[in-house]
Chains A and B, each alone.
Chain A
Amino acid sequence: MGELMDNKKKDQKRQLLILTILGLVLFFGIWEIVVRVGIISERNLCTPTKVVQTLIYKLYNTKPDGSTLFVHFLSSIKLSLFGFILAVVVGVPLGLVMGYYKAMDSFFTPLFEVIRPIPPIAWIPIVILTLGIGFQAKVFIIFISAFVPCVVNSYLGIKLTDQTLIDVAQTYGATRWQIFTTICIPSSMNMVFTGVRVSLAASWSTLVAAEMLASTEGLGYMIQIGRNLIRPDIILVGMITIGIVGALMGWVLSLFEKKVAPWRY
C-alpha cells in the first residue's frame, strides 16, 4: 500500500519535471527560431546560441567594450560589496539602537524620514557633481541604497520584540543593556536578516544603475555600451551575468544566515 502511494507521488513528480523541461525547451527553442527565421531582426535580438558564444568570447576578449567579462564583474562586485558591507556595519547597529533607545529614536527618525523616500538613484546627479564619478561616489550611492532597508528592518525587529520576553528578563533582574543585548537583539535577527537581504539586492541593482550613468567599467557599463553599439548579445551577456551574480550573492547570504541564525531554519 505504501509503495503504491509512493509510486503515485513519483508519477506526479515525473509529470511536473516533464512540464518544466518542456517549458524551458519551448522558451529557448521559440527564441532561437524566431531570431533565425528573421521574425525578429538581429539588430533587436540575438539567438540564445549567440549569447553563449558571446559569453565564451567575452571571457578572453576585451572587445568591444574595453574589458573582459571577468574584469567588469570584479569591478562591479568590489564596489557593491564595499558599499553593502559599509551599510550593514553602520545601518544595522543604528537601526537596533534607534529601536531600543527612545532618545536615539527621536533624534534620528526625523532625519531618516527625510532621506528615506528618495530613491538612491536620484542621488546620482548630486553625487557626481560633488564627488565625481570615481570609487567614492559610487560607494556612497550604493551605501545609501543598502543603508535604508538595514535601518528600517533592524528598527522594526527591535520594536517587534515580544513584550513577555522583556518582562521575564526584567523580573529576573536584567539591566536595560542586558535586555537589549540578550533579548531584543537575538529576537530581532529575523527582521535584521530580511533587511540585509533586501539591502544586498538594492545595492546590486543600484550599482548597475550607477555604472550605466557614469562609469568606464563594470557590468552596468558593459550593457550600456552594448546598447550604444546596438549589440543585443553584449547586453544579454551582461544582463545574464548581473542576474547570476545577484542570485549567487543571495545564496551565499542565506548560507551565512544558516550559520549565524540557525533557529530560523
Chain B
Amino acid sequence: MAVQKDKIIIRGLSKTFYQKNKVVEVLKNINITVKENEFLVLLGPGQCGKTVLLNIMADLDKPTEGEVEFTDGRPEMGNLGIVFQRYALFPWKTVMGNVEVNQKFKGTPKEKRQQAAQKYIELVGLQGFENALPQALSGGMQQRVGIARAYATESDIMLLDEPFGALDAQTRYSMEDEILRMWEQDKRTVIFVTNNVEEAIYLGDRIILLGGHPTGVKKEYVPEMPRPRNYTDVAFLKLRNEIVNNTDLVL
C-alpha cells in the first residue's frame, strides 16, 4: 500500500465528566493517527467511551485535555459524515428528506441537493424508496438511509458509531459487505466504531483496541488479509483469538 498522509491526529486526549460530587474519568491520554482514506476500526467493549470519543471528534463534545487535529483544517459543523448507532433519522422526513437535509441546512437549492441525494440513495441501493417514511423501512434499510445521509455531506471523513449494532446477524453481515463496497467505490477516510471483534477484523485496514479504566489505547492490529476476508480463515481466527485475549471482559 502506498504511503498515506495523516488525516486526523488525536493527541493526548482525555475526557472527564463532573457530575454531582462525582468525577468520572472516561478517556485518558488517547493518541491516534488516522491516515487518509483508510478504514480504521476503533474496537472496544460497551460503555467504554467510544461514543464520547467520536462525539469529541465531531465537535459535539469538548475534550477535557488534548486535541483533535485535522490536517486539512477542522471541518465546519455539518461537514463531517456521521452515522449513529440508533440511526437518528428524522421520522417525519422521507428517505429523500433525510438524505438531503445536510445540503438543505447549507442552503443548497432544492433541485441540486435532491440530485446529489438521489446519487447517494442509489449508492446505498434504496432507489424506489425515496418517498417512504423511515418507519416503513426495516432496520437495515433505515441504516442505509443513515449512511446515505452521512455520504451526502460530501465529507471526506466518515464517522460510524456502531452503525450495525442494532441489526440482526444476517443483516449485519450483508451491511458489512455493503459498507466495504461503498468505501471501495467512493474512497473516504472511515472511522468505524464497534464492539464486535469479528466485524472489526472483517472490515478494518487497521484496528485500534481500546480498553482499561479509564479507557485508553491498548494495542493496534493490522489484519494482513486480502478482502473479502473469510470468517473461518485460519489467519482470521488467529487474530480473533489474539484480540479477544487482550480485551477487557465486560459482563
The chain B residue sitting closest to A6, CB to CB, is B18
B250 within 8 A of A: no
State the Cβ distance, B77 to closest chain A Cβ, in Å. Answer: 22
How many residues of A are counted as interface, with CB atoms below 8 angstroms from the partner's CB atoms? Answer: 4
Q: Mark A1-22, 1 if CB is under 8 A from B, else 0.
A: 1100110000000000000000
Q: Which interface residue of B16, B18, B64 has the most chain A CB atoms within 10 A? A: B18
Q: Which residues of B have CB within 8 Å of A5?
A: 18
State the Cβ distance, A122 to closest chain B Cβ, in Å. Answer: 38
Binding site for A on B (CB under 8 A): 16, 18, 23, 64
Nearest first, the 7 closest Cβ-Cβ pairs linking A and B are: A2-B18, A5-B18, A1-B64, A2-B23, A6-B18, A2-B16, A1-B16
State the Cβ distance, B70 to closest chain A Cβ, in Å. Answer: 24
Q: Which residues of A have CB within 8 Å of B18?
A: 2, 5-6
Cα(A6)–Cα(B64), bound, Å = 13
Cα(A2)–Cα(B18), bound, Å = 7
The chain B residue sitting closest to A2, CB to CB, is B18
State the Cβ distance, B26 to closest chain A Cβ, in Å. Answer: 14
Q: Which residues of B have CB within 8 Å of A2?
A: 16, 18, 23
Q: Which residues of B have CB within 8 Å of A1?
A: 16, 64
The chain B residue sitting closest to A1, CB to CB, is B64
Q: Which residues of A1-56 are within 8 A (CB) of B?
A: 1-2, 5-6
Cα(A56)–Cα(B251), bound, Å = 63
Cα(A245)–Cα(B200), bound, Å = 61
Q: Which residues of A144-166 are within 8 A (CB) of B?
A: none
The chain B residue sitting closest to A9, CB to CB, is B18
Cα(A142)–Cα(B35), bound, Å = 72
